[in-house]
A and B are shown apart, each in its own frame.
Chain A
Amino acid sequence: MSEILSTAVVKQRSGLPKRLLGHDAIIIYTLILVIIIASFTVKFFAGPLTVGFLLIQVIPILLIAMPMALVIISEEIDLSVASIAGLTSAVMGVLWRDSGWDIGFVIVASIFVGVICGAFNGFLITVVGLPSLAVTIGTLALFRGLALVVIGDQKVANFPKELNQFVLSKIGATGIPVVMIFVVVIIAIFAIILHFTPFGRGLYALGHSKEAAAFVGIRVGVAKFWLFIGTGVVSSIVGVFLTLRLASAGPDNGTGMELSVIAAVLLGGVSIFGGRGTIPGVVGGVLLIGVLTYALRLAKVPETALIIVTGSLLVISVVAPSVTAWARERMRLARLHKEVQGSSTPGPISA
């Protein structure tokens, strides 16, 4: 009787607390804690302007982080995202200046840039079989280079004013940007794909073992190809967003963003080894970096110290699990050692 009871307790413990003590939960607690502390200690943080400024700042990273999470969960990486955004911005600028098309058509055509870039990455990685890290370092340079070829060092700035105002407009008095509705829809789409479809579950399998995934019937190549199309399209959407927000199309829009995105995704609990990570965790990771940066900036912490915070968060978030795992393993081995020594019969276990 007592035995049954204890196993029941153990089972319960491994269910709910696991979710409440997991990596993404810890990130979300930290995020809430930072928001509470900042509201009390930083002047002007708890105001309506905060939400708007903060969200407008994090939207590009938040958007790209979604497909990037899926890519990293399936044990690949895409470093070319910021260059795709830049190329999109350049193409959009030139089309708007020279083609005389309607702005809606220009935007659709610009987003098509992401489809092509993503397909190019996907082709080299899945069909030719090249490592994604190397391929996307190459396309990082190639796409940014093409952006320069397309638009040179010029800027196009005469986009319709209404669109620029629309991107910056807020929902009533909440301070939340209207664009945020689209962002939430995109986050929801990726959350559903990853957590509630066979395709998404397959990505975890893919991240754990490609061979095993292939054996259980996942079409590895096809799945990965779609993921790179995903990062391409979302990067292009971000390129359009950046162009409209800055009211300027240039070849250098979004430069260097790829590393910020990856830092946020990893901070959000996605394992670089693949096979682990959740969308809520990633959203938490992006917002944590965003809120912390914004609060410190308001508190007049010099801009320079901010990147130290980003870097340290990233290192701590990956080192901490390893350290606790190591400590736990040591304790387990010590206990095992004691048990083996305690029993008189020499067991087969040797620590």
Chain B
Amino acid sequence: MTTALHFFRARGVPVAGALVALIIVTSIVNPRFLSPQSVKDLMLNATIVIILAVGQALVIITRNVDLSIGSILGLVAFGTGSLFNAFPGVPIPLVFVAGMIFGALLGAINGFLVTAAKVPALVITLGTMYIFRGVLTSWAGSKQYFSGDNPKEFGALSVDTFFGFPIITLVAIVVVAAVALYMQYMRAGRDLYAIGSAPDAAKLFGIRVTPRVLAAFIASGALTGLAGVLYTSRYNSVGALTGTGLELDVVAAVVVGGVAISGGTGTVVGAAIGAVLLSTITSSLTATRVDKFWQQAIVGVLILSAILIDRIVSLRNAKKLRVSEARDV
């Protein structure tokens, strides 16, 4: 229990603290920042990145990375639009299931190539990022689907609230909680950490590395699919360029959230907080009337400070471990 507490103290708190500080400072400068409408917008803006960050965290914890998620999100979002266009009466739950299966299939292609060819995920998913985007642009051409073409109830998911929370944000919260519990308490979840810390040792220990890594990619694909469906509900239009460049934003959110890019450490809750932090900064700069051009530079500084903090913490932990081991001997 104390180790779990220590773990949380080391990784999650600085990010959450930065988020709280950001919100407090912004709301002092501009009290309207915490008006109900503004808070709702904050949550809506964060929702999709949160879900993507959870999926990406699963993959990064296994010491892999998925750069194709922007293209997968685009494919699923456009697919959702086409589905509503072809079958106007299709039940909404079915659309979610279809989107997640579509995303999972695309994730499975990544996972299969990575595990079968034993080539770093960075290269494979860089390739599939291009391929998926190419498939989408050939499929979509110059066609776009607008939110007006979708059923009203579908669009309402990102407008209606439940106890002040937009419905799609609740979906994101449920996803974070479910995946966090799974990663914390289920055997398969712990295996992902073991694989990320030392793949060879995990293999020797009897963990079936290949199916676990494949599963991480499929899960990331399915979550990206979910995000794609929600994207169609949230934004005005989906087309060939939907989701372009999202991959680095999401990797940035995950890294800021304390998931080490070298695998094995971090939590999906941390990744989700990282996503909220990055999307809140945008709004908070607007609210405090800071020149909007500073936004990206600040994101860069945040990423660098996150990995710096990570490095300092892990050095300190290593030193502590050495000292305690020396005492035991």
A residues touching B (Cβ–Cβ < 8 Å)? 77, 79, 124, 128-131, 133-135, 137-146, 148-149, 152-153, 256, 259, 262-263, 266, 272-273, 302-312, 314-315, 318-319, 322-323
Q: Which residues of B contact A302 (CB under 8 A)?
A: 138
Given known contacts A152-B293, A303-B137, A304-B138, what 12 new A-B pairs fall within 8 Å (CB)? A128-B311, A133-B65, A137-B252, A137-B255, A138-B252, A141-B297, A145-B296, A259-B129, A263-B130, A266-B123, A315-B123, A315-B131
Among A138, A145, A309, A314, which residue has its beta carbon within 8 angstroms of that of B295?
A: A145
Interface string of B232-247 (1 = CB under 8 A from A): 0000000010000100
Interface string of B285-327 (1 = CB under 8 A from A): 0000001011111111101100110010000000000000000
Q: Is the CB of A138 within 8 A of B138?
A: no
B184 at the interface (CB under 8 A from A): no
Of residues A77, A138, A149, A318, which shows the largest number of chain B Cβ atoms within 10 Å of its Cβ? A138
Q: How far is the CA of A273 from the CA of B121 in the complex (A)?
A: 12
Q: Is the CB of A310 within 8 A of B130?
A: yes
Total A-B contacts with CB atoms under 8 angstroms apart = 144
Q: Which residues of A contact B240 (CB under 8 A)?
A: 304
- A-B CB contact pairs (8 Å), 10 listed: A128-B311, A131-B262, A134-B255, A138-B301, A145-B294, A145-B298, A153-B293, A306-B134, A311-B126, A311-B132
Interface string of B127-168 (1 = CB under 8 A from A): 111111111011001000000000000000000000000000
CB distance from A139 to the nearest CB of B (A): 6
Q: Which residues of A contact B137 (CB under 8 A)?
A: 303-304, 307
Of residues B127, B141, B248, which shows the largest number of chain A Cβ atoms within 10 Å of its Cβ? B127
The 3 closest A-B pairs by CB, nearest first: A142-B300, A145-B297, A311-B130
CB distance from B209 to the nearest CB of A (A): 16
Q: How many residues of B contact A (CB 8 A)?
A: 46
Q: Which residues of A contact B5 (CB under 8 A)?
A: none
B58 at the interface (CB under 8 A from A): no
Among B117, B131, B294, B296, which residue has its beta carbon within 8 angstroms of that of A322?
A: B117
Q: How far is the CA of A139 from the CA of B297 in the complex (A)?
A: 9
Q: Which residues of B contact A130 (CB under 8 A)?
A: 307-308, 311
Q: Which residues of B contact A310 (CB under 8 A)?
A: 130
Q: Which residues of B contact A146 (CB under 8 A)?
A: 297
